[in-house]
Amino acid sequence: MEIDLSRVIVTSGATAHTTEVHHRDFSEIRADGGSAKEAAAHLANKLTLALDTALTDWRRETIGRAIADVEAFVKQAD
């Protein structure tokens, strides 16, 4: 599985003190946090929850790749 950190998009959050993160392939799933790392950790959790509603193997694999990208982003942010 190829990890691509450029798929993790970081933008300003809803307030001046938050950051919002989403994955390029799942722009409808977003997470906020006090930092990009914190928001990305929340995003990984939200994507993991999305696995419950993935009805096909292709969708589960796509979500799995997104989770791997986001988890690599969190580790890189250390």
pLDDT tens string 42-67? 999 999 999 999 999 999 999 999 99
Percent of the chain clearing pLDDT 70 (strictly above): 97
- Contact of 31 with 46, CB cutoff 8 Å: yes
Q: Is the dihedral of CA 59, 8, 43, 27 positive or negative?
A: negative
> For residue 10, what are the β-bridge partners?
21
**pLDDT band per the 50, 70, 90 thresholds, residue 1:** low
The SS3 call for residue 73 is helix
Q: What is the mean pLDDT of the chain?
A: 93
pLDDT given at position 62 = 96
